[in-house]
Amino acid sequence: MATPAPVDWLAEIDSTNAEARRRAEAGERGPAWIAALRQSAGRGRRGRVWDTGEGNLAATLLFQTDKAPGEAAQLSFVAALAVADLAHAFVPPSLVSLKWPNDPLIFGRKASGILIESGQHPMGGLWVAVGVGVNLAHAPKLADRPTTSFADHMSQPPPTPQAALEILARAFAHWEGVWRREGFAPIARAWTSRAHGLGEPAVARLPDETVQGIAEGLDIDGALRLRQADGTIRRITAGDVYFGGA
């Protein structure tokens, strides 16, 4: 994916990720971006509702890979880096950070959502849907975390969804190429250089327990390393992690 994939713009869809799944299960391979000016049933991680709203970006990249599902999940970090590059084009880079596992933040507030889904392609291999929602014009209210938009930090009007996707697609193609050629290590380094909350106390809320510790960084597979009070390292591979209320 050395160059950005083509884009199919839709006026309205239930969910760009749902549409990507339908197309993949019908045999489409991609790569192609599926983008919509409005989503009626957008969703995020753990089935949360994601309200795109007019003027914001909702897009999903559909493509096929021979990677295993666990390795393909690393694309969430690739997508986060691409969103960070998009944000850098419009807001001061010092305001942009990445919260584990894949929450791009502006001034410590959630500005984007990323959802990676995959399944066995009918023709073999794995189909992957990289869903990205970006708060360009306004921010939906979330019960569990503060949100913001590009417009909140710009003196000029925010980019249109079309202009934003053009930048995002180029950035994703770059980082996906790095990941495919060199593996996860350079992605982890780039992500860590933008990381939010490293070295700070963190709380990981897992399905059956809550884990506290100091966030030390990424493991070689993207898991978050938390050093607990007794000095042991706990690897967090899934769950919601909170740093100082962010």
Domains in the chain with CATH codes: 7-193 (3.30.930.10), 201-242 (2.30.30.100)
How would residue 58 be classed by pLDDT, with cut points 50, 70 and 90? very high
3-class SS at 177? helix
- pLDDT, tens digit, 9 for 90 and up, residues 128-142: 999 999 999 999 887
Bridge pairing between strands 32-36 and 7-10: parallel
- The 8-class DSSP code of residue 181 comes to H
Decide if pLDDT at 245 tops 50: no
Q: Please report the DSSP string for 47-82 in residue order.
A: G-B----TTSEEEEEEEEE-S-HHHHTTHHHHHHHH
Q: Residue 10 pairs with which residues in a beta bridge?
A: 36
Decide if pLDDT at 80 tops 50: yes
How would residue 2 be classed by pLDDT, with cut points 50, 70 and 90? low
The b-or-e profile of 107-120 (16+ CB within 10 A means b, else e) is ebbbbbbbbbbbee
What would the mean pLDDT of 120-130 be, rounded to a whole number? Answer: 91
Q: Please tell me the predicted confidence (pLDDT) of residue 102.
A: 84
In 3D, which of 165, 141, 139, 169 has the Cα closest to residue 152? 139
What would the mean pLDDT of 204-221 be, rounded to a whole number? Answer: 90
